[in-house]
């Protein structure tokens, strides 16, 4: 036999570099559902079911295409509990010349695979992951010598590189790079939000759901009502569904939150993009085409393209530029453990309850819930970065270390000192009130900062500002906050700080 090709659960792309370099008549593929990968964190049941089912469907497609695939389905009694053990067994059995793979998306496994040649006794060839617009080396070159890394400038480079939303003479369509200012509307129920794309589980998915319920019953979330796409064809249909029904309003309501609607006008495409069921550039091309043909406005289409070739590529670049040290960053010195209600949703704070409850049911919450509700609360209360990063990695169907870590540790927790944002996204209850209808159904009163029923976000916000004066007072984007705080009468400041202290001491009771 020639080579063994290892394909991981987030590498389900027919154009994967390791496959492109292989020969289906000689080389053989290995894919495995293993205990170590399924249980290194408390992965949501729907996340496990999605990845296992998509892997099984992809293995079947490869076999139909003529590949020989060695596939290990999950069972707790399997003797090979790690990918390395599976590959070692097959290496003994098949005696390949080399192991070929595509670089994986997280440092933990990457650093292990880099050592495998020693235990396997054969060369391990790691091909670059070509499914991104910006290669790691290209990002490192762009970042070199820059004092601050700003997504907006990187994004413009990616627009030029891909030609997405560029005129033939090299200008941005609509004469602006960014239409974000148009994308901040509150949603009042109209126009109605479309139902999300649904696929009824087939026999493979039903088997996997049974397996997850049998063997991962103690993992977070519910496996009920699983309706995610698990093949390339279905993921393509999900993209078309988004373009037809949600894209026209995606921009306007991108930052909105609702007490009644889980998905609003978001694309729900991240699980497919992150596992290889959709390609990012062709996805953006289809969305851009909707603008050229008059089916969606430019603010929506530009906003979507920016999330993918801007933010998604940018966070990946930061991850590989700064790992492994990045994961240890804690520049604000946080020490508090994650409150238990992040796992139960059992809190009187309506906005948090709704975001956590949706996460448990759907393995999904949209960006503003992640950033401005669960994230904002963790930032204001000084949760340890490792605790909150582990939570985000576990609960979302799209969570993989390379994208989860920079978003949580950098964008939300500001634990990296500002690579992902020039100021922390800290906000009081006013922001949540402006962008949602949660507050009108809440136990707490959003207009109050002190008193038993005062919205916890208010006092916690000022407590955060006050206790991090040394970190932020000289940040030009924070000057106004400090001026506002310092203007408050001393007595009022004292009352707010006392309320903040009380909230921090009684965090589990909120
Ligand atoms: C604390 C925190 C943790 C996050 N963890 C993840 C994660 O583990 N995996 C993940 O894919 N995204 C993560 N995000 C980014 C973003 O919230 C999700 O990509 C988005 O909610 C997925 O839903 P959607 O497909 O409906 O997105 P849409 O709102 O429809 O956006 C379109 C696409 O843009 C991309 N995108 C948007 N924002 C970002 C971003 N900040 N970083 C990277 N890609 C982005 C996604 O691929 C997404 O599918 C996180 C954000 C925060 C604040
Ligand atoms: S009042 Fe405060 S805690 Fe309640 S929903 Fe509004 S922002 Fe959230």
pLDDT band at 127 (very low <50, low <70, confident <90, very high): very high
Distance 71 CA to ligand 2 centre (A): 48
**CA nearest to 280, candidates 403, 424, 382:** 403
Q: Residue 195 carries which DSSP code? A: P
Residue 269 alpha carbon, nearest atom of ligand 1 = 25
Separation CA 231–CA 13 (nearest Å): 10
Query: What integer is the mean pLDDT of 50-76?
Result: 97
Q: Give the model confidence (pLDDT) of 152-193 as tens digits.
A: 999 999 999 999 999 999 999 999 999 988 888 999 899 999
- The angle subtended at Cα 465 by Cα 405 and Cα 147, nearest 5°, is 50
Query: What integer is the mean pLDDT of 335-342?
Result: 98
In the chain, which segments carry CATH 3.40.50.620? 3-127
pLDDT for the residue numbered 184? 85
Two tokens, residue 77: 């009694």
Distance 401 CA to ligand 1 centre (A): 13
Q: Which ligand does the CA of 399 lie closest to?
A: 1
Q: Give the model confidence (pLDDT) of 195-207 as tens digits.
A: 999 999 999 999 9
Nearest Cα residue to atom 2 of ligand 2: 455
Which residue of 373, 457, 499, 507 sits with most ligand 2 atoms within 8 Å of its CB, as the best mutation to test the pocket? 457
The CATH class of the 136-198+230-322 domain is: mainly alpha
Tell me, using a 6 A CB cutoff, whether residue 372 lines ligand 2.
Answer: no
Distance 505 CA to ligand 2 centre (A): 19
Distance 472 CA to ligand 2 centre (A): 25
Query: What Å distances lie between residue 42 and 66, 213, 328, CA to CA?
Result: 36, 14, 20
**CA nearest to 164, candidates 128, 131, 133:** 133
Q: Considering the domain 3-127 in this protein, what is its CATH number?
A: 3.40.50.620
* Whether the Cβ atoms of residue 1 and residue 26 lie closer than 8 Å to each other: yes
Q: Residue 196 carries which DSSP code? A: P
Domain 341-509, CATH among 2.40.30.110, 1.10.357.10, 3.30.70.120, 1.10.579.10: 1.10.579.10
Tell me, using a 6 A CB cutoff, whether residue 429 lines ligand 2.
Answer: yes
β-bridge pairing 124-127 and 3-6: unpaired
pLDDT band at 212 (very low <50, low <70, confident <90, very high): very high
Q: Give the model confidence (pLDDT) of 243-299 as tens digits.
A: 999 999 999 999 999 999 999 999 999 999 999 999 999 999 999 999 999 999 999
pLDDT for the residue numbered 1? 62
Distance 286 CA to ligand 2 centre (A): 38
Residue 9, φ and ψ in degrees, nearest 5:
-65, -20
DSSP string, 93-149: HH--SEEEEEPPS-HHHHHHHTTHHHHH-S-EEEE--TTSSS-HHHHHHHHTT-SS-
Two tokens, residue 453: 């029923």
Nearest Cα residue to atom 3 of ligand 2: 349
pLDDT at residue 383 above 80? yes
Q: Residue 183 carries which DSSP code? A: -
**CB-based contacts of 436: which residues, under 8 Å, 6+ apart?**
186, 256, 257, 258, 259, 351
Tell me, using a 6 A CB cutoff, whether residue 369 lines ligand 1.
Answer: no
What burial class does residue 432 get, using C-beta atoms within 10 Å of its C-beta: 0-12 exposed, 13-18 middle, 19+ buried? buried
Residue 398 alpha carbon, nearest atom of ligand 1 = 9
- The angle subtended at Cα 393 by Cα 29 and Cα 461, nearest 5°, is 160
pLDDT at residue 339 above 90? yes
pLDDT for the residue numbered 93? 95
pLDDT at residue 309 above 90? yes
Tell me, using a 6 A CB cutoff, whether residue 229 lines ligand 2.
Answer: no
* Whether the Cβ atoms of residue 226 and residue 202 lie closer than 8 Å to each other: no
Q: Which ligand does the CA of 385 lie closest to?
A: 1
Query: What integer is the mean pLDDT of 444-465?
Result: 97
* Whether the Cβ atoms of residue 462 and residue 443 lie closer than 8 Å to each other: no
**CB-based contacts of 112: which residues, under 8 Å, 6+ apart?**
84
Q: Percentage of the chain surpassing pLDDT 70?
A: 100
Tell me, using a 6 A CB cutoff, whether residue 408 lines ligand 1.
Answer: yes
Residue 432 alpha carbon, nearest atom of ligand 2 = 7
Separation CA 502–CA 448 (nearest Å): 15
Separation CA 276–CA 156 (nearest Å): 24
Q: How many beta carbons lie within 10 A of that of residue 168, not counting itself? A: 6
Distance 364 CA to ligand 2 centre (A): 20
In the chain, which segments carry CATH 1.10.579.10? 341-509
**Quick one: the chain helix, strand, coil %, rounded to 5?**
55, 5, 40
Two tokens, residue 364: 């999904």
Q: What is the mean pLDDT of the chain?
A: 96
* Whether the Cβ atoms of residue 265 and residue 250 lie closer than 8 Å to each other: yes
Tell me, using a 6 A CB cutoff, whether residue 427 lines ligand 2.
Answer: no
pLDDT for the residue numbered 247? 97
**Edge-to-edge strands, sheet with 124-127:** 68-72, 28-32, 3-6, 98-102, 124-127
Q: Give the model confidence (pLDDT) of 421-435 as tens digits.
A: 889 999 999 999 999
pLDDT for the residue numbered 418? 86
Find out whether the peptide bond into 191 is cis, omega within 30 degrees of 0: yes
pLDDT for the residue numbered 295? 96
pLDDT for the residue numbered 147? 79
**CB-based contacts of 182: which residues, under 8 Å, 6+ apart?**
251, 252, 299
Two tokens, residue 367: 């960006």
Two tokens, residue 324: 């492994």
* Whether the Cβ atoms of residue 83 and residue 109 lie closer than 8 Å to each other: yes
Q: What's the pTM? A: 0.96
Q: With left for phi above 0 and alpha for psi between -120 and 50, is residue 174 left, alpha or beta?
A: left
Q: Which ligand does the CA of 151 lie closest to?
A: 1
Q: Which residues are 178's β-sheet partners? A: none
């Amino acid at each position: 036999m020639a080579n063994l090709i290892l394909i991981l659960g987030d590498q389900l792309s027919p154009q994967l570099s390791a496959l492109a370099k292989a020969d289906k008549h000689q080389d053989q593929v290995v894919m495995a559902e293993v205990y170590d990968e399924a249980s290194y964190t408390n992965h949501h049941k729907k996340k496990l079911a999605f990845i296992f089912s998509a892997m099984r469907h992809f293995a079947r497609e490869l076999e139909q295409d003529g590949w020989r695939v060695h596939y290990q389905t999950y069972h707790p009694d399997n003797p090979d509990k790690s990918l390395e053990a599976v590959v070692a067994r097959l290496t003994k059995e098949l005696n390949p010349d080399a192991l070929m793979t595509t670089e994986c998306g997280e440092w933990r496994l990457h650093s292990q695979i880099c050592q495998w040649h020693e235990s396997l006794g054969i060369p391990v060839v790691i091909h670059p992951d070509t499914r991104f617009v910006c290669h790691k080396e290209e990002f490192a070159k762009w970042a070199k010598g820059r004092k601050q890394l700003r997504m907006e400038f990187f994004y413009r480079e990616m627009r030029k590189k891909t030609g997405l939303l560029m005129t033939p003479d090299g200008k941005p369509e609509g004469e602006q790079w960014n239409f974000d200012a148009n994308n901040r509307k509150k949603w009042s129920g109209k126009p109605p939000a479309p139902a999300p794309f649904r696929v009824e589980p087939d026999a493979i998915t039903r088997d996997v759901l049974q397996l997850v319920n049998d063997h991962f019953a103690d993992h977070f979330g519910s496996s009920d009502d699983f309706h995610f796409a698990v093949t390339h064809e279905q993921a393509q249909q999900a993209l078309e569904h988004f373009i037809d029904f949600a894209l026209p309003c995606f921009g306007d309501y991108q930052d909105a939150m609702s007490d009644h609607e889980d998905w609003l006008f978001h694309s729900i495409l991240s699980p497919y993009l992150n596992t290889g069921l959709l390609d990012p550039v062709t996805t953006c091309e289809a969305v851009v085409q909707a603008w050229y043909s008059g089916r969606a406005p430019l603010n929506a289409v530009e906003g979507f393209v920016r999330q993918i070739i801007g933010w998604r590529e940018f966070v990946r670049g930061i991850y590989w530029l700064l790992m492994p040290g990045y994961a240890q960053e804690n520049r604000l010195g946080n020490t508090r453990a994650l409150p238990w209600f992040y796992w139960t949703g059992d809190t009187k704070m309506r906005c948090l309850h709704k975001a956590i409850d949706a996460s448990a049911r759907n393995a999904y919450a949209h960006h503003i819930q992640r950033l401005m509700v669960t994230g904002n609360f963790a930032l204001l209360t000084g949760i340890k970065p490792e605790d909150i990063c582990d939570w985000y990695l576990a609960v979302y169907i799209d969570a993989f270390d390379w994208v989860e870590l920079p978003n949580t540790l950098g964008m939300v927790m500001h634990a990296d000192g500002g690579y992902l944002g020039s100021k922390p996204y800290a906000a009081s209850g006013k922001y949540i009130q402006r962008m949602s209808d949660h507050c009108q159904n809440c136990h707490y009163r959003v207009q109050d900062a002190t008193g038993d029923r005062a919205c916890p976000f208010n006092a916690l916000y000022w407590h955060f500002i006050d206790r991090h004066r040394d970190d932020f007072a000289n940040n030009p984007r924070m000057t106004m906050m400090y001026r506002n705080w310092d203007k408050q009468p001393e007595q009022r400041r004292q009352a707010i700080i006392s309320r903040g202290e009380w909230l921090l001491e009684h965090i589990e009771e909120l």
